[in-house]
């Protein structure tokens, strides 16, 4: 750092040589031209770090820091105390133990959802997004003004969470890590604030309107009129100072960032009305508009309050899920005792006990023999499902019968429930093209309307100076694009919530926009059209040397050594025999020995090596049991079609969709299933690369929707224009899909398509109404046919109509 002795005691930072950094006094590298405007003068900076800090100091209104800091010391302060205090608080969020509650980590990449205070419209979201994109290490930013949240992905090697929070603070917004449990507390705090501000504005508007009626009488004397003006001022002042504070704060924040939001014309209109009325009152000249100020504030606050309630209704489902997760669990101790512990302290591998009627607090593996669970919170399916030993149980499910034991496999952010909520939030925070277009249009629309307002005043000044102010005010109020800014975000939030309630998890909100234009649907067979669970369809007992029970137990004993899906029905059917030795031949079958007799179970070719004379009793038989003397039994083990598969395919065909089956299964089995379900186009025995080739060939004709669930479907799901999988599908399939169906019902495709069509229709209606209203009211206001009070009513009603139309998506889904 440059020695302070080179600075005269009377020198101020403004007098430093241009080659010295104004912020840290280091030399400015030759050829570097970085400056920041401080107190009206462009000051040089030595690096982008100093430039960023200096801009933050200016944006926060702390330029007095430069004027009064002590430059006589060698360790000159570089950050104001006000910012240092905030930074110290934010650094606490870099603690890994604290981050476990809300940060999702994948190697060096971390992601979190942040709650933003003070964000009111798309312009605010754009400003925050722009700020974070310029922060080193930030890889992805998705801002949603409807939910007041920001989803951030960053590389922890290049930045910390505290730096991201500080960057948001720098543009005037308060950001903290979002947690579902805080939704209700945050909503209650905002609701109470709105009610208080509404109360002040409501009482003041009633009083000022009563006074205004008295002023309408022409025979009122001057003294009484002036008295009424002062009374109105007395009631209006609290509205301007308290009720309107959010509008002024948001407008100032936007102007500091050199952008426009919908609070700029609102704040400008209120300020102009109040200042003009105040000037008229103290000079006893002109006219006053106190009733317009108070009514304007009351209508705007009413609209914002209803918007808050609508947003809360759309995003509260996830919070309600989290509230049902218990805070305490019973964990097993080493001495066969049970201890009460906080759920957040459970770790993978712990054994816990869940009593009948209690909610399962974490994801885990069932240790008990059987459990009946109500998974309606996760899947929307109201009927309890049976879980067998070693099957997975999920947080949010309710244990229905006896006490059960489970081994913890995932906690906190890693549970299925947290993943569902995270993906739902991600969908809400994404912006389809019509939302992005609305954001851009609203910003330019505000600039255009401010220009029209200025031109209106200029023209009316020459036509009728006495009416110029009144007409200009009406234009400013009437054209506020509140409805336009609400048109798309409120509808998208309603659509995501609607789908979530019926067990359809939307990961990519853009699919809502694309789905109605898709006319080709590709479907996998196993696990998609079928249930993905093999069962015994037919059985043939071919030897009288064994009873049926002996055959079943022998088959179950041999199949214990197999991991093949076809072996599962045998394992669950009968008890095993003791002292059976086995040897697994993957892809062929199992060799075994019991009571000095050799057995084989598997394909016909495999058992024929032990019993050459064995022949299949039926063309559909695919699992055979034999000893050296011949065939003992044969079974048809097959995967059954989903109960709603045929109905769903018929509906797709009736809607004009071209349904194509892409499967790796044999051609014979694929065509048999396709014939049963009414599918005419089948491509069978495909490898993953073959599926991808067929999909790309179909995409030449138009966008394609892919439905699949296996690991081999991962590439084709990722490449499709839209993709759907099931919660029972592979992790790779879920990662590459736009939608996850939690219920396992293929008929969810119909609900998804109907919701997409309804959402697109509602958004178009909202845009048509918002733009139509503004284009209709503008000429009326410019020509002086609509006054400020009527303009306020029209603007408020326009926003309410848009919100009410979007709330149609929140109705119960049949």
Q: How far apart are CA 171 and CA 254, in angstroms?
A: 9
Q: How far apart are CA 119 and CA 188, in angstroms?
A: 17
SS (H, E, C) 536-578: EEEEEECCCCCCHHHHHHHHHHHHCCCCCHHHHHHHCCCCCCC
* pLDDT score, position 587: 66
Higher pLDDT, 735 or 305: 305
Indicate whether 195 pLDDT > 80.
yes
Neighbour tally for 785: CB within 10 Å: 12
Closest alpha carbon to 663 in 528, 534, 567: 528
Computed over every residue of the chain, the mean pLDDT equals 77
Q: How far apart are CA 520 and CA 523, in angstroms?
A: 10
* pLDDT score, position 634: 92
Closest alpha carbon to 375 in 391, 364, 388, 359: 359
Residue 163: how many CA atoms within 13 Å on its side-chain side?
Answer: 18
For each of the domains in the chain, give its residue range(s) and CATH number, in order of start. Answer: 4-79 (no CATH), 85-178 (3.30.70.100), 347-410 (2.70.150.10), 504-530+642-749 (3.40.50.1000), 533-641 (3.40.1110.10)
Mean pLDDT lowest for which of 117-131, 284-298, 304-318, 601-615?
304-318
Indicate whether 599 pLDDT > 90.
yes
Highest mean pLDDT among 80-94, 178-192, 348-362, 472-486: 348-362
For 761-792, the pLDDT digits (tens) are 888 888 888 888 888 888 888 888 887 777 77
**In angstroms, what CA-CA distances link 589 with 30, 134, 242, 347, 560?**
77, 60, 79, 39, 11
Indicate whether 11 pLDDT > 70.
no
SS (H, E, C) 33-44: CEEEEECCEEEE
Q: What is the mean pLDDT of residues 78-82?
A: 60
Q: Are 170 and 59 in contact (CB under 8 A)?
A: yes
Q: How far apart are CA 126 and CA 144, in angstroms?
A: 9
Neighbour tally for 468: CB within 10 Å: 18
264 three-class SS:
helix
Q: How far apart are CA 22 and CA 18, in angstroms?
A: 8
Indicate whether 13 pLDDT > 90.
no
Give the length of the chain: 814
Dihedral angle sign, alpha carbons of residues 486, 488, 492, 494: positive
For 520-537, the pLDDT digits (tens) are 999 988 778 887 677 788
Indicate whether 60 pLDDT > 80.
no
Q: Which two tokens stand for residue 453?
A: 């307002």
* pLDDT score, position 638: 79
Rg, Å, the chain Cα set: 35
Higher pLDDT, 79 or 206: 206
For 460-484, the pLDDT digits (tens) are 888 888 788 778 878 877 777 767 7
Q: What is the mean pLDDT of residues 504-516?
A: 79
Q: Are 414 and 496 in contact (CB under 8 A)?
A: no
Mean pLDDT lowest for which of 8-12, 21-25, 193-197, 246-250?
8-12
Q: Are 316 and 494 in contact (CB under 8 A)?
A: no
Mean pLDDT lowest for which of 73-82, 553-562, 660-669?
73-82
Residues near 633 by Cβ (< 8 Å), separated by ≥ 6? Answer: 539, 540, 541, 542, 543, 546, 551, 555, 624, 625
Q: How far apart are CA 325 and CA 360, in angstroms?
A: 7
Q: Which two tokens stand for residue 781?
A: 């206001």
Q: What is the mean pLDDT of residues 94-114?
A: 74
Indicate whether 431 pLDDT > 60.
no
Residue 119 is given by DSSP the state: -
Dihedral angle sign, alpha carbons of residues 497, 502, 503, 508: negative
Indicate whether 17 pLDDT > 60.
no
Q: At what angle do helices 48-59 and 161-170 cross, to 10 degrees?
A: 50
Q: Which two tokens stand for residue 531?
A: 């249930």
Indicate whether 314 pLDDT > 60.
no
**In angstroms, what CA-CA distances link 162 with 47, 95, 175, 183?**
21, 10, 10, 22
Q: Are 783 and 750 in contact (CB under 8 A)?
A: no
Strand partners, 681: 660
Q: Which two tokens stand for residue 673?
A: 């299933």
Q: How far apart are CA 38 and CA 66, in angstroms?
A: 9
Q: Which two tokens stand for residue 64?
A: 């007095």
Indicate whether 118 pLDDT > 90.
no
Q: How far apart are CA 81 and CA 698, in angstroms?
A: 63
* pLDDT score, position 413: 62
Q: Are 362 and 328 in contact (CB under 8 A)?
A: no
Q: How far apart are CA 775 and CA 734, in angstroms?
A: 45
Under the banding of pLDDT at 50, 70 and 90, the label for residue 312 is: low
Strand 739-741 to 504-506 pairing:
antiparallel
Q: What is the mean pLDDT of residues 751-756?
A: 88
Q: What is the mean pLDDT of residues 405-409?
A: 85
Indicate whether 711 pLDDT > 90.
no
Q: Are 289 and 277 in contact (CB under 8 A)?
A: yes
């Amino acid at each position: 750092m440059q020695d302070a002795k080179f600075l005269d005691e009377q020198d101020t930072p403004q007098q430093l040589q241009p080659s010295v950094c104004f912020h840290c006094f280091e030399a400015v590298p030759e050829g570097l031209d970085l400056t920041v405007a401080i107190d009206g003068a462009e000051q040089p900076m030595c690096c982008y770090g100093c430039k960023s800090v200096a801009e933050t100091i200016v944006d926060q209104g702390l330029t007095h820091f430069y004027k009064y800091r002590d430059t006589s010391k060698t360790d000159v302060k570089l950050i104001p105390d006000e910012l240092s205090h905030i930074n110290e608080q934010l650094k606490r969020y870099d603690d890994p133990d604290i981050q476990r509650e809300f940060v999702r980590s994948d190697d060096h990449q971390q992601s979190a959802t942040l709650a933003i205070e003070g964000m009111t419209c798309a312009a605010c979201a754009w400003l925050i997004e722009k700020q974070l994109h310029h922060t080193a290490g930030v890889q992805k930013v998705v801002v949603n003004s409807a939910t007041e949240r920001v989803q951030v992905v960053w590389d922890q090697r290049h930045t910390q969470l505290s730096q991201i929070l500080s960057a948001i603070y720098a543009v005037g917004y308060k950001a903290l890590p979002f947690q579902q449990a805080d939704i209700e507390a945050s909503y209650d705090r905002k609701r109470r604030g709105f009610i208080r501000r509404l109360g002040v504005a409501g009482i003041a508007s009633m009083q000022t309107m009563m006074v205004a009626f008295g002023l309408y009488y022409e025979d009122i004397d001057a003294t009484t009129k002036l008295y009424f003006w002062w009374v109105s001022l007395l009631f209006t002042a609290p509205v301007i100072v308290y009720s309107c504070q959010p509008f002024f704060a948001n407008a100032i924040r936007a102007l500091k960032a050199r952008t426009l939001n919908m609070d700029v014309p609102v704040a400008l209109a209120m300020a102009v009305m109040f200042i003009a009325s105040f000037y008229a009152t103290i000079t006893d000249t002109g006219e006053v508009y106190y009733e317009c100020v108070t009514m304007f504030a009351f209508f705007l606050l009413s609209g914002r309050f209803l918007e808050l309630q609508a947003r809360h209704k759309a995003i509260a489902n996830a919070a309600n899920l989290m509230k049902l997760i218990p805070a305490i669990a019973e964990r097993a101790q080493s001495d066969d005792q049970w201890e009460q512990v906080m759920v957040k302290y459970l770790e993978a591998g712990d054994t816990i006990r869940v009593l009948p009627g209690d909610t399962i607090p974490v994801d885990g593996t069932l240790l008990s023999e059987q459990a009946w669970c109500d998974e309606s919170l996760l899947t929307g399916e109201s009927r309890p499902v049976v879980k067998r030993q070693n099957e997975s149980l999920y947080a949010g499910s309710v244990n229905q019968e006896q006490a059960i034991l489970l081994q913890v496999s995932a906690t906190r952010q890693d549970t299925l429930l947290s993943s569902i909520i995270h993906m739902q939030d991600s969908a809400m925070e994404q912006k389809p093209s019509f939302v992005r277009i609305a954001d851009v249009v609203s910003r330019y629309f505000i600039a255009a309307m401010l220009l029209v307002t200025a031109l209106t005043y200029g023209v009316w000044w020459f036509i009728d100076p006495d009416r110029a102010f009144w007409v200009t005010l009406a234009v400013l109020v009437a054209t506020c694009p509140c409805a336009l800014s609400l048109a798309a975000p409120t509808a998208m939030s309603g659509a995501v919530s609607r789908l979530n309630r019926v067990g359809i998890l939307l990961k990519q909100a853009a699919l809502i926009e694309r789905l109605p234009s898709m006319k080709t649907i590709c479907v996998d067979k196993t696990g998609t059209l079928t249930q993905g669970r093999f069962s015994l369809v037919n059985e043939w007992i071919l030897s009288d040397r064994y009873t049926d029970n002996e055959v079943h137990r022998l088959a179950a004993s041999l199949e214990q050594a197999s991991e093949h899906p076809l072996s599962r029905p045998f394992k669950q059917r009968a008890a095993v025999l003791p002292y059976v030795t086995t040897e697994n031949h993957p892809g062929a079958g199992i060799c075994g020995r019991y009571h000095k007799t050799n057995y084989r179970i598997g394909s016909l070719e495999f058992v024929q090596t032990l019993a050459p004379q064995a022949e299949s009793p039926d063309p559909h038989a695919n699992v055979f049991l034999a000893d050296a003397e011949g065939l003992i039994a044969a079974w048809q083990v097959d995967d059954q079609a989903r109960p709603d598969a045929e109905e769903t395919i018929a509906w797709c065909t009736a809607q004009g969709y071209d349904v194509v089956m892409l499967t790796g299964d044999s051609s014979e089995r694929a065509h048999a299933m396709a014939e049963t379900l009414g599918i005419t186009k089948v491509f069978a025995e495909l490898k993953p690369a073959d599926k991808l080739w067929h999909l790309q060939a179909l995409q030449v004709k138009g966008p394609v929707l892919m439905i699949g669930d296996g690991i081999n479907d991962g590439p084709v799901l990722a490449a499709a224009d839209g993709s759907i999988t099931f919660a029972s599908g592979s992790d790779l399939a879920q990662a590459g899909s736009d939608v996850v169906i939690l219920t396992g019902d293929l008929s969810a495709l119909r609900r998804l398509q109907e919701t997409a069509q309804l959402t697109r229709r509602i958004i178009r209606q909202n845009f048509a109404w918002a733009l139509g209203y503004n284009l209709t009211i503008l000429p009326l206001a410019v020509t002086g046919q609509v006054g400020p009070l009527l303009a306020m009513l029209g603007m408020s009603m326009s926003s309410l109509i848009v919100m009410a139309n979007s709330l149609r998506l929140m109705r119960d889904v049949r």
